[in-house]
Amino acid sequence: SAVFYLLLALPISIADLSQRKIPNIYLQLYTYYVGALLIVNGVPNASFMLLVFLTLGLLSFSGVGMGDCKLLALVVLMLGLNELIEFEQLLIAILFTAFIEIVLRWGFSKVFPRTIAMAPAIFLGTSLYLATSGS
């Protein structure tokens, strides 16, 4: 599973960095993979998924792109998260890496970035979460 995750991380991140959007073809490939995982591992708790989708709705409302929200939903399903604390830790790791990206861009360009590509932060934050959670 880590191989497929890493194979899609690079083209999705490059596309997001260069075009500021994630092409749906990558998300479709990811969806097929996650769908197969759900068939094998089962679906998460419905109330937990409702909380995840409400959170993603709030993120979208606050300016996070729909491609980023869809990618984050697929990552949550791929990881098989089922508890609020796991989801919180994942979000904290992603937001931490996004913060680092903002600070680095600001430091190198001396201009505060108005937008950033979130896909690299999602993948790096997820990797950070996996490295620290023991999963």
Query: Mind listing the pLDDT tens digit for each residue in 98-122?
Result: 999 999 989 998 888 888 999 999 9
pLDDT digits (tens, 9 = 90+) for 13-32: 999 999 999 999 999 999 99
- The neighbour count for residue 44, using CB atoms within 10 Å, is 18
Q: Mean pLDDT in the chain?
A: 91
Q: pTM score > 0.85 for this model?
A: yes
For the segment 121-131, the average pLDDT, to the nearest whole number, is 93
Give the model's pLDDT for residue 113: 85
- Crossing angle of helices 84-109 and 66-79, in 10° steps, is 140
Identify the three-state secondary structure at position 121: helix
Q: How confident is the model at residue 71 (pLDDT cuts 50, 70, 90)?
A: very high
* Contact predicate 123/112, CB 8 Å: no
Q: Find the mean pLDDT for residues 58-68.
A: 93
